[in-house]
Amino acid sequence: MNGLYIHIPFCRRKCRYCSFVSQPCIGPPPAAYLEALLSHIRLYARVDWLKGEGREITSIFIGGGTPSLYDGKSLARLISACRDNFNCRPGLEISMESDPNSLSLDQLARCREAGLNRLSIGIQSFNERLLKIMGRSHNRDQARQAFCVARTAGFENINLDLMYGLPGQSPDNWRQTLNEAAALAPEHLSIYELSVEPGTRFAELSDRRQLTLPAEEEVIEQENLTCSLLEREGFERYEISNFARPERQCRHNLNYWRNGSYLGIGAAAVSCLSGLRLRNVEKTETYIKMVRQGLLPLADGEALSKEASFRESVIMGLRLLQGVSLTDLRLRYVLHPRDYYGPVLHNLIKRGLIAMDGDYMRLSAAALPVANQILAELV
Amino acid sequence: MNNIRNFSIIAHIDHGKSTLADRMIQLCGMVSDREFKNQLLDSMDIERERGITIKSQTICLPYKARDGKQYLLNLVDTPGHVDFSYEVSRALSSCEGALLLVDASQGVEAQTLANLYLAMENDLEIIPVLNKIDLPAADPDTVAFQIEEDLGLDGENIIRCSAKTGEGVDEVLEAIVNHLPPPEGDSKAPLEALIFDASYDAFRGTIISCRIFQGMIKAGDTIIFMSNGASYKVEEVGWFDLKRTPRKSLQAGEIGYIIAGVKTVSDTRPGDTITLKDRPCAAALPGFQEIKQVVFSSLYPISTDEYENLATAIEKLKLNDAALTYQKDSSSALGFGFRCGFLGLLHLEVVQERLEREFDIPLILTVPSVNYHFYLNDDSLLEVDNPAYFPDPTLLKGTEEPFIKASILIPERYMGAVMNLCMERRGENTNYHYPTPGRIEFTCEIPLAEIIYDFYDKLKSITQGYGSFDYELLDYRPSDLVKLDILVNGERVDALAQLVHRSKARERGLHACDKLKEEIPRQMFKIAIQAAIGGNIIARTTISALRKDVTAKCYGGDITRKRKLLEKQKAGKKRMKTVGNVDIPQNAFLAVLKSDQ
Ligand code: SF4
């Protein structure tokens, strides 16, 4: 599987917890950046790696930032450019991230026409107070409306992003958001615990002790609530923080967790070409300038040894509830985890943290909440 | 001999000794301005970072004075820390004079006083120098008054300078020539040379730093060390310029080096007298003492297969550090390691840092201990510096612990706080006087063990950094000692055991439990930490199990970052020691001795 990722680094304003590469943008986002993306797509289309056997694009993901800040026409051009320049598999998944208050029916209809078939809406919470605290630019009603607009525009595959463990959030408060989300009946839910990242406004507040996060016990309760409630509603947890209805797993993201190859278009996007990882320059101005000059806008790269790649595939794959396929590891690296990790793995299995399940090695239910502890032994 | 001056610089840390030395080197034209790098004399990283010198360094400065004559100024740079006061006294006794360097914005500190007294005991001529007069906070008049009134030094001779800007440094050089006496001695008399330091050179073996008091020495001579009668053939003698410069001979009055096939630095003893085998002197120079280690701790490699590497590293370190002693040790929790003796806690930390930095061996140090005396029922004396060898209490008739005399110099306003601290630390016979209005010199007799337990940190914090401290060993006094054990998940961790005074046991036990709770990261199961005396649990705490991690979004763009975070977590774990099934970080072992900051 090969993914194509396009990064749009603009948002209405910076959310207070956000550490992604995005910059606030008033009014319509710059046309120059869109043009740069189109040039970048044409540049990459000439890269030999893409012409290799089986190198078709199997998913496209337009992420951000907030891609939906662009109007329908621009987004349609972007999607078409991808489809025209790359060898795309028929019926491939094409997703886009969006913010509730930047969606319109006309815009979404144009995108759909161009081939967009999956929409992700950053809702985060249905609680007005929490939305304010987080510095989101929308309210509860706009969130609900956005979902309806998306359905009306014909989207049958919609994801909602939600967050828990928010300042002052009680398990009950979280339950309400979950219920409200489930009532809309989306196909997919991405659910993250808030983590206070350095450099964010939340980090500042937390340093000044002006941020009260729920106690560990409460967060655990929220976590348990998430799993039981969503399971009842017919969602399957297929990755540590992702839930989907049958057949609705996000194929683009699955490819990341299986450590597959992908192309990154746009400022700060990352490509991974058969294990060679390349990061694009972060500054949009630099990005635009380089692409205009016909240069690949690369900032740095990383090529891991075979063993390091193997370990990385293991830790990424373990994020999936199904686990990582032993056959896949053998074909790619000629290594078996049992031989490679020896007593370390043996010990984890003995402690009931890792399970060997036919062709799959996976984290046990007990290990999921403390996944990092186990991944840190295998990295 | 009339054109030689041998001198040393007495200064508190940060008062600008190295900068002044560098300026003098520059003024004497030994380095071009371009080569002039800050603090040439302090060569080891650790020393430079901490602003301390743990070895003496000597440099011989050719100086053309205003009287038109050429002089040879031998600067003997001395260690600047209380752990090394014997070394300081030996270096001082090689000189006729000393510069007393005082920061004009800070005034005289206890450490300076202690070394000044050492210099006076050695009959050195003192030239007071006020440094940092360029600082806005400098108050040279008050400090000059302090020097004159309290230290009884001649105010006439006080020189004011700024080593940083170079102002007044030429006056310092002139004063050395004019106010310090030239050395005396007879080059024809039998050889009397004082060893004041030694360092190790991978190609030449031990380089002995010495002062020739009588006679002369040259290559080919056979010398003997008077403390142990060992004899060696001299290969080379010379002066210390920026590097070593061989000379035909060293004569009475001179300071220089001797290379004589001495394998390790430990084969030499600071303060020892060297003489010629054929024509020995009548008696050794006075003041020689065997070095005494006062703090003991065991060093273990975190990873047991690094034991051989550690052995090699300690051996190498020992080549250049005669004050360090070591012997094999083993612990059920930590495997094989070494029991080491140090001059003090600072010496211990310097050794630890050097082993980790220069040899890249992550280490665990066990809780430092002093040397205790135990009298058994059969009246025999057992000396114990390792809690592992604490005798069966039923066989004990009495215990003794070493006491020191602490002198603490503080602004008057901290008197109450410092007095309290000393009382808390079982201090006795406190005394004080006012060396200057507003400043107190406070003396007190305290068990040495109380000093190695976070005393410096506490003193610094209660005096907001204004307190300075020095100590000398007194004697052994009766005590009531118990062994405090630490249990982690029910398992006794021998490396965390300490010997403590009975009256302090509970407090220390609580403190150790709290510290360990802070230092040991939560693990996937509950960890019980207990402090015990014999079978009695006197303090306990638990570290709750880790029940969740934050597992946030992980997509294409941040796979590398996520992986690196996990790798860091893994590397951190490698620096921990697994005892039973609990990972204990390296810091935990010393942390039980540190106070809350
Ligand atoms: S919308 Fe998303 S990317 Fe933009 S600031 Fe908020 S969290 Fe960050």
**Which helix or strand (DSSP H or E) is residue B588 part of?**
helix B586-591
Which one-letter amino acid corresponds to residue A350?
K
Mutate to test the pocket of ligand 1, among A10, A11, A190 (most ligand atoms within 8 A of CB): A11
Q: How far is residue B15's CA from residue A373's CA, in Å, rounded to a whole number? A: 49
Q: Scanning every residue of chain B, which has its alpha carbon at the shortest distance from the alpha carbon of A196?
A: B550
Q: Three-state DSSP class for B116?
A: helix
Distance A64 CA to ligand 1 centre (A): 7
**Which helix or strand (DSSP H or E) is residue B575 part of?**
none
Half-sphere CA count of B29, side-chain side, radius 13 A: 5
Q: Pick from B98, B174, B90, B104: which is nearest to B135 by CA?
A: B104
Contacts of B552 in chain A (CB under 8 A): 192-193, 195, 241
Q: Three-state DSSP class for A340?
A: helix
State whether A220 and B547 contact (CB < 8 Å). Answer: yes
- Rounded alpha-carbon distances, angstroms, from residue B504 to B35, B176, B399, B571, B580: 55, 52, 16, 37, 28
Q: How far is A253 from chain B (nearest CA, A)?
A: 7
- Indicate which residue's Cα is closest to atom 6 of ligand 1: A15
Q: How far is B553 from chain A (nearest CA, A)?
A: 6
What per-residue confidence (pLDDT) applies to B82?
63
- How many angstroms separate the most distant Cα atoms in chain B? 85
| Both tokens assigned to B53 | 């010198």
Q: In DSSP terms, which residues pair with A264 in a beta bridge?
A: A5
| Burial class, A163, CB count within 10 angstroms (exposed 0-12 / middle 13-18 / buried 19+) | buried
Q: In DSSP terms, which residues pair with B11 in a beta bridge?
A: B101
Stronger pLDDT, A75 or B593, i.e. the higher one: A75
**Which helix or strand (DSSP H or E) is residue A331 part of?**
helix A326-333
In this complex, which of B552, B553, B556 lies closest to A272 when CB atoms are compared? B556
Q: Is residue B94 a contact partner of residue B193, using CB atoms and an 8 Å limit?
A: no
Nearest-atom index, ligand 1, CA of A99: 1
Q: Three-state DSSP class for B382?
A: strand
In this complex, which of A264, A315, A369 lies closest to B556 when CB atoms are compared? A264
What per-residue confidence (pLDDT) applies to A358?
94
DSSP state at residue B182: P
Q: Which residues 69-108 of A have a C-beta within 8 angstroms of B?
A: none
Which one-letter amino acid corresponds to residue B290?
E
What per-residue confidence (pLDDT) applies to B36?
54
Q: Is residue B12 a contact partner of residue B113, using CB atoms and an 8 Å limit?
A: no
Q: How far is residue A192's CA from residue A40's CA, in Å, rounded to a whole number? A: 32
Q: Scanning every residue of chain B, which has its alpha carbon at the shortest distance from the alpha carbon of A192?
A: B552
Q: Is residue B312 a contact partner of residue B301, using CB atoms and an 8 Å limit?
A: no
- Rounded alpha-carbon distances, angstroms, from residue A144 to A147, A164, B265: 5, 18, 80
Phi and psi at residue B164, in whole multiples of 5°?
-70, -45
Q: Three-state DSSP class for B11?
A: strand
- The tens-digit pLDDT sequence of chain B (597 residues) is 789 999 999 887 667 787 888 888 888 877 665 555 544 444 444 444 444 445 557 889 999 999 999 999 999 977 766 677 788 888 889 999 999 999 888 887 766 777 787 788 888 999 999 999 988 888 888 888 888 877 778 888 899 999 888 899 999 999 999 999 999 999 999 999 999 988 888 888 899 999 999 999 999 999 999 998 999 999 999 998 878 899 999 999 999 999 999 988 888 888 999 999 999 999 999 888 877 888 899 999 888 888 999 999 998 888 778 788 999 998 877 889 999 999 887 788 888 888 888 888 888 888 889 999 999 999 999 999 999 899 988 999 999 999 999 988 888 889 999 999 999 899 998 899 887 677 788 999 999 999 887 787 788 788 876 777 878 889 999 999 999 999 999 999 988 999 999 998 999 999 999 999 999 999 989 999 999 999 899 999 999 999 888 766 777 778 888 899 999 988 888 778 888 789 888 778 878 777 664
The pLDDT > 70 percentage for chain A reads 100
Q: How far is residue A187's CA from residue A247's CA, in Å, rounded to a whole number? A: 9
DSSP state at residue B448: H
Residue B423 contacts by C-beta under 8 Å, 6 or more apart in sequence?
none
Strands A298-303 and B363-365: unpaired
Q: How far is B304 from chain A (nearest CA, A)?
A: 17
Q: Scanning every residue of chain A, which has its alpha carbon at the shortest distance from the alpha carbon of B549?
A: A370
| DSSP state letters, A94-129 | EEEEE-GGG--HHHHHHHHHHT--EEEEEEE-S-HH
Contacts of B549 in chain A (CB under 8 A): 369-373
Q: How far is residue A146's CA from residue A144's CA, in Å, rounded to a whole number? A: 5
Cβ(A11) to ligand 1 under 6 A?
yes
Distance A125 CA to ligand 1 centre (A): 14
Q: Which residues of A254-287 are buried (b: 16+ CB within 10 A; e: fewer)?
A: bbbbbbbbbbbbbbbbbbbbebebbbbbebbeeb
Q: Suggest the residue from A62, A282, A372, A377 to mutate for an interface test with chain B (most B CBs closer than 10 A).
A: A372
Q: Which residues 178-237 of A have a C-beta within 8 angstroms of B?
A: 190, 192-193, 195, 216, 219-220, 223
State whether B570 and A376 contact (CB < 8 Å). Answer: yes
Q: Pick from B194, B197, B224, B473: which is nearest to B322 by CA?
A: B197
Q: Is residue B388 a contact partner of residue B372, using CB atoms and an 8 Å limit?
A: no
State whether A270 and B573 contact (CB < 8 Å). Answer: no
A vs B, Cβ pairs < 8 A, gives: 88
In this complex, which of B549, B557, B563 lies closest to A379 when CB atoms are compared? B563
Peptide bond into A65 cis (omega under 30): yes
- Indicate which residue's Cα is closest to atom 2 of ligand 1: A65
- Indicate which residue's Cα is closest to atom 7 of ligand 1: A18
State whether B556 and A372 contact (CB < 8 Å). Answer: no
State whether B556 and A3 contact (CB < 8 Å). Answer: yes
Per DSSP (E only), the strands in B215-272 are 216-218, 222-225, 231-233, 236-240, 244-247, 249-251, 255-259
Cβ(A158) to ligand 1 under 6 A?
no
Q: Three-state DSSP class for A264?
A: strand
Which one-letter amino acid corresponds to residue B458?
K
Contacts of B566 in chain A (CB under 8 A): 315, 372, 375-376, 379
Distance A191 CA to ligand 1 centre (A): 15
Strands B582-585 and B576-579: antiparallel
Q: How far is residue B43's CA from residue B439's CA, in Å, rounded to a whole number? A: 35
State whether B570 and A269 contact (CB < 8 Å). Answer: no
- Ramachandran assignment for A271, one of left (phi > 0), alpha (psi -120 to 50 degrees), beta (any other): beta
Phi and psi at residue B339, in whole multiples of 5°?
-90, 125
DSSP state at residue B369: B
In this complex, which of B546, B550, B556 lies closest to A195 when CB atoms are compared? B550
Distance A133 CA to ligand 1 centre (A): 14
- Indicate which residue's Cα is closest to atom 8 of ligand 1: A18
Q: Suggest the residue from A18, A196, A270, A277 to mutate for an interface test with chain B (most B CBs closer than 10 A).
A: A270
State whether A316 and B559 contact (CB < 8 Å). Answer: yes
Contacts of B570 in chain A (CB under 8 A): 376-377, 379
Q: Pick from B69, B95, B431, B52: which is nearest to B255 by CA?
A: B95
What per-residue confidence (pLDDT) applies to B595?
64
Domains identified in chain A and CATH numbers: 3-257 (3.20.20.70), 306-376 (1.10.10.920)
- Rounded alpha-carbon distances, angstroms, from residue A319 to A224, B280, B463, B551: 17, 81, 53, 9
What is the residue whose two structure tokens read 């059969």?
A: B378
| Burial class, A77, CB count within 10 angstroms (exposed 0-12 / middle 13-18 / buried 19+) | middle
Q: How far is residue A296's CA from residue B415's CA, in Å, rounded to a whole number? A: 69
Nearest-atom index, ligand 1, CA of A24: 5
Q: How far is residue B390's CA from residue B8's CA, in Å, rounded to a whole number? A: 44
Residue A348 contacts by C-beta under 8 Å, 6 or more apart in sequence?
A354, A374, A377, A378
Which one-letter amino acid corresponds to residue B325?
T
Q: How far is A370 from chain B (nearest CA, A)?
A: 5
Nearest-atom index, ligand 1, CA of A17: 7
* Length of chain A as a residue count: 379
| Both tokens assigned to B207 | 């380089």
Q: Pick from A298, A284, A300, A262: which is nearest to A35 by CA?
A: A284
What per-residue confidence (pLDDT) applies to B235?
96
Q: Pick from B571, B577, B581: which is nearest to B590 by CA?
A: B577
| DSSP state letters, B53-100 | --S-EEEEEEEE-TTS-EEEEEEEE---SGGGHHHHHHHHTT-SEEEE
Distance A201 CA to ligand 1 centre (A): 12
What per-residue confidence (pLDDT) applies to B55?
55
State whether B548 and A379 contact (CB < 8 Å). Answer: no
Q: How far is A23 from chain B (nearest CA, A)?
A: 17
Q: How far is residue A70's CA from residue A128's CA, in Å, rounded to a whole number? A: 26
Contacts of B567 in chain A (CB under 8 A): 376, 379
pLDDT tens-place string over residues A250-277: 999 999 999 999 999 999 999 998 889 9
Q: Is residue B162 a contact partner of residue B133, using CB atoms and an 8 Å limit?
A: yes
Which one-letter amino acid corresponds to residue A264?
G
Cβ(A143) to ligand 1 under 6 A?
no
- Ramachandran assignment for B331, one of left (phi > 0), alpha (psi -120 to 50 degrees), beta (any other): beta
